[in-house]
Amino acid sequence: MIDKPREKALEILAHVEEGGFADSYLDQARRHFDSRDSAFLLELVFGVLRHRARLDWTLDQFSAQPVAQTDVRTRNILRLGAYQMLFLNKVPVSAAVNTSTELAKEYGRKSGYVNGLLRNLDRRKKEIAEPSSPDPIKRLSILHSHPAWLVRRWVARFGPERTEAVLRENNLPAPLIIRTNTLRTTRDALKASLESEGAAAAATKYSPAGLEIVSSPGLQSLSAYHKGWFLVQDEAAQLVGMLLAPRPDETVLDACAAPGGKATHLAELMKNRGRIVAIESDAARIGRIEENRERLGASIIEPVRADAARFREGAFDKVLIDAPCSGLGVLRRHPDGRWHKKEDALRERAKAQQSILKNCSSLLKPGGALVYATCTTEPEENEGVIAEFLGKAEGRFTIDDPRPGLPEAARKLVDDRGFFRTFPGEPGMDGFFGARMIKAR
């Protein structure tokens, strides 16, 4: 009988390699497993994706042909088996080999090849050395399973030692962070509620509303979730809302707002007084904004389906542009992204970001503040976008110091140009960039 979590992991990995996204498949699949098998499924899928290049390099040492030349099912069966053998100490080698062989009988049709290769790997795994190459980019790319083009960029900016530390951090599981809904409770009261129901939580270092969930019986099973006392949101994303520093009774535009995490945070900072227009171009994602608005009681949010590059309705005291980007700052949360993203897409992203920034900035009232933010690491989408925008603005916008809106501990995350960034200096958070600008009166 085929092991169900491993079978589902194989299905998801094959979909990802054919262009799909792991998160959506995992969200659907995990509903059909108990907590133990659900956690194992997540470990298998994310583990293989985080270490895929290293796994392929290792398997190639024992295969007559590169595993990349076999079919998509067979190579992912091999990756699953090798990941369990090399990275999961609690899984017996016999279980890893036998379940992989059974999967190959059903899907890969190369069970002898799979069985023989994995058994050979087990016999000789003490002989495996770390990848070596005279090219440091290639070595780091294989060792830490990141695309060579991205490693090359980071080595050029940060040097090989700092880059290797970042790559290593990227392969660790991301912390689970929640934001207290201050419209309904306090962080201390939320923490006490969580702990009374078997969860363990710790206060975040920078955000005064954040808690790191160390363990829990399942967030959606907790009464605090159903009361709307919190929302899952990384600490860096929480700080982005604070960069804007909205006040009660202001009118705010949140461009590219789904799923509503930052919009609901803005409502909390505004004490649910004023108006937030939350625009989103994807009709299906509008529902996520509405769902979070209702659960958290952020009634001042008005979801609107619109294109942020063309929306023309209203004048706003504050504008937040959480721009669509390459997402290179959140690869630890979305490890499949490293295998989908291409370097030449950065310039195309930047063009779209410029269009959104140009349009939404025109809706800002004189003297108003605008925050441009991304969860990417690359200058083309960050400093480059800001430089081009300011050049064309001809003095109508200036960079503003965002530190007064941040908690004191987070002010060190703003550089001498006034740019907020959490990459690579703060590996405990997602990689975000933010710039606060003021429109001339």
- 8 A C-beta contact, residue 242 and residue 406: yes
Q: How far apart are CA 221 and CA 38, in angstroms?
A: 15
Q: How far apart are CA 80 and CA 69, in angstroms?
A: 17
Give catalytic residue positions. Answer: 375
Strand order in the sheet with 200-203: 200-203, 210-215, 176-180, 230-232
Q: How far apart are CA 213 and CA 195, in angstroms?
A: 10
Q: How far apart are CA 52 and CA 141, in angstroms?
A: 11
State yes or no: cis peptide before 134, omega within 30 of 0.
no
For the chain, report the end-to-end CA distance as a whole number of angstroms: 71
Tokens describing residue 240: 């982005």
Q: How far apart are CA 311 and CA 362, in angstroms?
A: 10
Q: CA of 151: how far to CAs of 144, 156, 343, 386, 427, in Å? A: 10, 9, 11, 24, 16
Q: Is 319 helix (H, G, I), strand (E, B) or coil?
A: strand
Strand segments, DSSP code E, in 145-194 are 176-180
- 8 A C-beta contact, residue 328 and residue 377: yes
